[in-house]
Structure 1
Amino acid sequence: MRYQYKWQDIPAKEIPQENQDNLEATIRRSLEVGINHIETARGYGTSEMQLGKILPKLPREQLIVQTKVCPQKNVKQFRREFDKSLAFLQLDYVDLLGIHGINTYEIIDECIRPGGCLDEARKLQKQGKVRFIGFSTHGPTDVIIKTIETDCFDYVNLHWYYINQLNWPAIEAANKHDMGVFIISASDKGGKLYDPPQKLIELCQPLSPIMFNNLFCLSHSQVHTLSVGASRPTDFDEHLKTLSLLDKAEEILEPIINRLEAEAIKVLGENWVKTWNIGLPNHKQTPGNINIPVILWLRNLALAYDMIEYGRMRYNLLGNGGHWFPGKQAENLDKLDLKSCLVNSPHADKIPDLLADTHHLLGGQSVQRLSSS
């Protein structure tokens, strides 16, 4: 998704040769260094079309090609979207087909109902056009676990990394069901680690933030794959430095994690660090649909690690992300009574002020999801 030309389908002739050359050089470099899992999606604009110009030139048996198609109530539309993906990729089959964006209970039910898009994906599997079926999700942990426990899927794409470990129970559930675990966007949604603040760089020494996060994720054997998000051939270089450290991950990680935790306590206070998320309502339980847990989490990162740009990127998605990033910003707090929804929080009295401060710190121009831009 990081190296395509446009987020919308356009005629192939409109794609600049320079952009296509960069994409192909990136793919060839990935194979040179042993990275053969190529992940795309129907929603990634010209990505599939551009990949289709190089994938047929490569040894098919050496590739793991994954695409994703959003669930549709009309299964014929789901099939049309998949057929378009396969035609753009110029392949006879994909190794992995993900149902893209199982983020709510309603979407689960729609997908797995008799005659739903999961059944359609199984037809594709029987026809030899798909080897394995999984799902991708930006949803809450309980939704992910429920989807896993249907026992309908071979793998899951989800978010989990050092700064956001909420989905660990889902990863454990996936392991119990013998599913592959693919971590989405570990270096971008995991903290914009390709452009980290100086404070985070210092706290992660002797590793770079990218190397630290990679090592943290891969030190857990339940995690199988991290997406790199390469946009040019040199983007693999920093990630590859992680590999030689895997055998001694625990001894390398421990002092860094201790330093990160100590800094958070120093800045935010030990009681807050250990209890801030207790008893918080979700956005559906909150007046104005304010996403209190996400806002306070972003505040923690901004203050403890100077991750202000990351916080702004994520905060300003609120209200624009639909079920991919639900809830709204902390606006118009003077018109809302949050007392009843915060009754189970030990910090109920101060949270409204903290929300207002966070809005002042991180608020600004609204941000659209990349695939909506």
Structure 2
Amino acid sequence: MEYRTFGRTGHEVSVLGFGAMNLPNVPLEQAKAALNYALDQGINYIDTAAGYRNSEEIIGESISQRRDEYFLATKTNKRDYKTAKEEIDRSLIRMKTDYVDLLQIHYVNYTKDFNQAMGDEGAYEAALEAKREGKVRFIGITGHRPELLAQWISNGHFDQVLFHLNLPQPFALDALIPKATEMNMAKVAMKPLSGGFVQPVRKAIRYPYSQDIHTIISGMVSVDEVKENLAAVSTPVDDEERISLEQLARAMGTHDCRRCNYCSCPVGIPIPDVMISSKVRDTLGLLPRGKKFYETNRDKITACLTYEPCREKPECEPKCPYHLPMQSVIQAAAGYDAG
């Protein structure tokens, strides 16, 4: 296992981290086996969040007795002091620990959310208080708007930043990663498979592995998935492979969707998933989860062809900060055969 110094925290973290968001989808014994196998293999970065259903409880039940073996990161999506403080304390109870190594202000995509969290009686105040009390060691921020995150971390208030970095979403390379590097911050790349769409897994993971980040959190749910992810980082990426992966990422990133979720669809289409997976589908093909996504959402996607209020002017597109042609991409996806 390769380890990298986690920015100014000074900790040595495994380049592959364990993302626990999907553990509530599997039986507890399977989750326990995956977590313990990951620790046995040298993975020492565990990522979860208060908002990931009972993920924190699973961690507490599965590996709290091995607490000194891993760097534990969780998140609060509360914006005010009172509820964030309550959530931090609840997270400690759930994970059966006295402290978390990293507490992140979660899913900050709007300026108003950032201002609220950082203002008087905001969530950041609760995080600072928890740090003074020894309940939190470091404070970070997560979000889906890399250009805004680059601005927000420049105030020096955060030790770490969590962002998308995968083949169809290379956008953090432009401003965010350079700014975080300049500030010696801990850099964590999430969703290497872009939510379960990108294949092959090895190629998907080796792209962020080749970049200037410290750890990649992958949402693993079984021993086999841990083995598959470990295999992807078992050998260094040479210059030739890195250049090839970067060229592929530039081509796949032309959809320009950041998953900021500003858009919404009147017929319930998960627009970012369609925007991103359309490019993945046409370039590499989809993982089984991606095919299932199209099977599950077939009727909604097809409804975009005939939904009368959007015929003259689609309701989704004016909400997009990147001015993307979402309607045409979705309507083209209506012709995709997932079989």
What TM-score do you get using the length of structure 2 for normalisation?
0.74
Query: Which protein is richer in strand relative to its size?
Result: 2
Instruction: Give the unaligned 5+ runs of structure 1.
Output: 7-18, 197-208, 265-272, 321-328, 364-373
Summarize the Cα distance change of 1:192–1:300 in structure 2 as closer, same or farther, 3 Å threshold.
Answer: closer
SS in 1 for 2:157: coil
| Aligned residues: CA RMSD | 4.0
Where does residue 332 of structure 2 map in the other structure? 357
1:210 matched to 2:201: yes
Give distance in 1, aligned partners of 2:137 and 2:70.
Answer: 13
In the superposition, relative to structure 1, how do residues 298 and 243 fare at CA in structure 2: closer, same or farther (>3 Å)?
Answer: closer
Residue in 1 that maps onto 2:279: 300
SS at match of 1:153: coil
- Helix, strand or coil at the partner of 1:24: helix
The whole-number CA distance in structure 1 between the counterparts of 2:272 and 2:46 is 33
Q: What is the match of residue 225 of structure 1?
A: 215
SS at match of 1:178: coil
Aligned to 2:59: 51
Cα distance in 2, alignment partners of residues 20 and 356 from structure 1: 40
8 Å CA contact 1:55–1:90 kept in 2: the answer is no
- Aligned residues of 1:302 and 1:311 also touching (Cα < 8 A): no
Paired residues of 1:295 and 1:315 also in contact (CA < 8 A): no
- Give CA deviations for 1:190-233 in whole Å, capped at 9, x if unaligned: x534xx4xxxxxxxxxxxx222122221111x211111211112
Aligned with residue 61 of structure 1, among 68, 77, 81:
68
1:159–1:361 CA distance, 2 compared to 1 (3 A): same
Equivalent of residue 79 in structure 2, options 63, 72, 80: 72
After superposition, give the CA deviation of every residue in 1:159-210 in whole Å (9 maximum; x if it has no partner). Answer: 1111111222212221122211111121252x534xx4xxxxxxxxxxxx22
Alpha-carbon distance in structure 2 between the residues aligned to 1:45 and 1:296: 27
Alignment of 1:89 onto 2:100: no
Cα distance change of structure 1 residues 109 and 90 upon mapping to structure 2, 3 Å threshold: same
Does the residue aligned with 2:218 lie in a helix, a strand or coil? Answer: coil
Does the residue aligned with 1:245 lie in a helix, a strand or coil? coil
CA separation of 1:300 and 1:23: change in aligned 2, threshold 3 A: closer
Q: Which residue of 2 aligns with 1:145?
A: 150
- Give per-residue Cα distances to partners, 1:290-309, cap 9 Å, x unaligned: 99988555433333333496
| Residue in structure 1 matched with residue 138 of structure 2 by the alignment | 132
Structure 2 portions without partners, runs of 5+: 1-20
| Pair 1:176–1:337, CA change in 2 (3 A) | same
Q: Determine if the alignment matches structure 1 residue 4 to structure 2 residue 24.
A: yes
Q: Sequence identity of aligned pairs in percent?
A: 22
Q: Give the whole-Å Cα distance in 2 for the aligned partners of 1:261 and 1:2.
A: 25
Structure number, greater radius of gyration:
1
1:249 paired residue among 232, 238, 257? 238
In structure 1, C-alpha distance between the alignment counterparts of 2:294 and 2:186, rounded to whole Å: 27
Alignment of 1:1-373 (within 5 A): 1-4=21-24, 19-58=27-66, 60-73=67-80, 75-137=81-143, 139-168=144-173, 169-189=175-195, 191-193=196-198, 196=199, 209-220=200-211, 222-246=212-236, 248-255=237-244, 260=248, 297-307=276-286, 310=290, 313=293, 332=307, 335-337=311-313, 353=328, 355-361=330-336
Closer/same/farther in 2, CA of residues 316 and 96 from structure 1, 3 Å limit? farther
Q: What SS does structure 1 have at the residue aligned with 2:184?
A: coil
User: Residues of 2 paired with 1:20 and 1:36: CA distance?
Assistant: 20
Amino acid at match of 1:251: E
Deviation string, structure 1 residues 82-112 (Cα, Å, up to 9, x no partner) = 1111011111101011111111111110011
What secondary structure does 2:58 align onto? helix
SS class of match (2:235): helix
* 1:30 positional shift: 0.9
Q: Give 1:26 shift.
A: 1.6
What SS does the aligned partner of 1:161 have?
Answer: coil
The 1:315–1:276 alpha-carbon spacing in structure 2 relative to 1, beyond 3 Å, is farther
1:69 to partner: Cα distance: 1.1
How has the CA–CA distance of structure 1 residues 295 and 98 changed in structure 2, closer, same or farther, with 3 Å as cutoff? same
Q: In structure 2, do the counterparts of structure 1 residues 228 and 315 end up closer, same or farther at CA, with 3 Å as the change threshold?
A: same
Matched residue of 2:240: which SS? helix
TM-score, length basis structure 1 = 0.68
Other structure's SS at 2:109 match: coil
Change (3 A) 1:314 1:101: farther
